[in-house]
C-alpha cells in the first residue's frame, strides 16, 4: 500500500479550473485501479492533497436544495461571485478568500476502506488543529463538519465538508474559515441548516489575522498522524 501523499498548494485559483484538475487526478487513479484489476498488476496508486483558496463561489452538492441559495445568480455577479452545481455530497456552501480549502484525492485502499471513518478523521484533523489555538471544536450529531459551542444557543460552524468517492478514490473535501468575510454566508442557508451561525478562526481569536501557512502546517501534521501518511512535496503539473 502506498501511503505517500503528494501535497500541492495551488494558491488562489478559480473553482472550475480546480474542479477540473481534481477530476483529472481522480480519474487517473480510478483508471489505474481498473487497469491493475484487469491485468493483475500491482502498480501503486497515487495519493494527492490539494490546498487552494478560491475567489467568491457558491457550490451546491448533488443532494442539495436550490432554495438554500437566497439570491439569484444575477445578484451573485454584483458580489463578484459565481455558482456551480457539483458532484459531491452535501448541500450548499461558500468558498472565498481567507478560507483554507483542502481536497484530498486519496485511494482509500492505501489506508482503509471506510467512508464514515474517512470523514470522521478529516473532522478530527480540523478539531486537533483548532485545539492548538485554544478552541474547543466538536462534531454535531447528524451533521458533518466541525462546530463550536455544540449544545448551546451559540452553536456555530467553522468548517464545512463534502466528499465524493468511487472505487474508494476520494475527491472534494473541506473548507475551513480562517480569515473569511462571513458576510457572504448571509446569501445562503449554510449546508441547508437553518438557525445556526457560521464563524471563522480570526473571529474566534478576537479578529486577529491568522497566517494561513501556519494553519496549513498544523492541518498537515495532524492529517499525517491520523492517516499514517508520509507527506511529500512533489510538484504536480496543473
Calpha distance 55→73 (Å, rounded): 15
Buried b (16+ CB within 10 A) or exposed e, 118-131: bbebbbbbbbbbbe
The full DSSP string for 157-212 is EEEEEEEEEETTEEEEEEEEESS--GGGGGGB-GGG-TT-EE--HHHHTTS----H
What angle do helix axes 115-131 and 212-227 make, rounded to 10 degrees? 140
Number of neighbouring beta carbons within 10 Å of residue 77:
11
Strand-pair category, 99-105 with 57-60? unpaired
Active-site positions read 191
Under 8 Å CB-to-CB from 6, ≥6 apart: which residues? 46, 47, 48, 49, 232, 233, 234, 236
Q: What angle do CA 7, 130, 4 make, to 5 degrees?
A: 20
Amino acid at each position: 500500500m502506498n501511503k505517500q501523499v503528494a501535497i500541492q498548494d495551488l494558491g488562489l485559483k478559480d473553482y472550475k479550473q480546480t474542479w477540473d484538475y481534481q477530476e483529472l487526478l481522480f480519474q487517473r487513479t480510478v483508471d489505474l485501479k481498473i487497469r491493475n484489476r484487469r491485468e493483475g498488476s500491482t502498480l501503486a496508486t497515487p495519493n494527492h492533497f490539494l490546498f487552494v483558496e478560491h475567489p467568491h463561489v457558491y457550490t451546491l452538492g448533488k443532494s442539495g436544495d436550490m432554495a438554500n441559495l437566497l439570491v439569484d445568480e444575477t445578484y451573485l455577479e454584483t458580489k463578484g461571485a459565481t455558482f456551480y452545481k457539483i458532484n459531491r455530497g452535501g448541500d450548499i456552501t461558500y468558498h472565498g478568500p481567507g478560507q483554507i480549502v483542502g481536497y484530498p484525492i486519496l485511494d482509500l485502499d492505501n489506508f482503509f476502506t471506510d467512508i464514515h471513518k474517512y470523514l470522521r478523521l478529516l473532522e478530527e484533523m480540523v478539531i486537533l488543529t483548532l485545539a492548538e489555538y485554544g478552541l474547543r471544536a466538536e462534531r454535531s450529531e447528524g451533521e458533518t463538519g466541525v462546530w463550536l459551542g455544540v449544545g448551546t444557543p451559540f452553536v456555530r460552524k467553522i468548517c464545512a465538508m463534502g466528499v465524493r468517492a468511487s472505487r474508494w478514490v476520494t475527491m472534494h473535501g473541506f473548507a475551513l474559515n480562517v480569515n473569511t468575510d462571513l458576510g457572504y454566508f448571509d446569501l445562503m442557508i449554510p449546508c441547508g441548516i437553518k438557525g445556526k451561525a457560521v464563524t471563522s478562526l480570526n473571529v474566534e481569536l478576537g479578529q486577529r489575522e491568522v497566517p494561513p501557512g501556519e494553519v496549513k502546517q498544523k492541518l498537515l501534521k495532524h492529517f499525517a498522524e491520523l492517516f499514517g501518511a508520509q507527506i511529500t512535496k512533489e510538484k504536480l503539473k496543473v
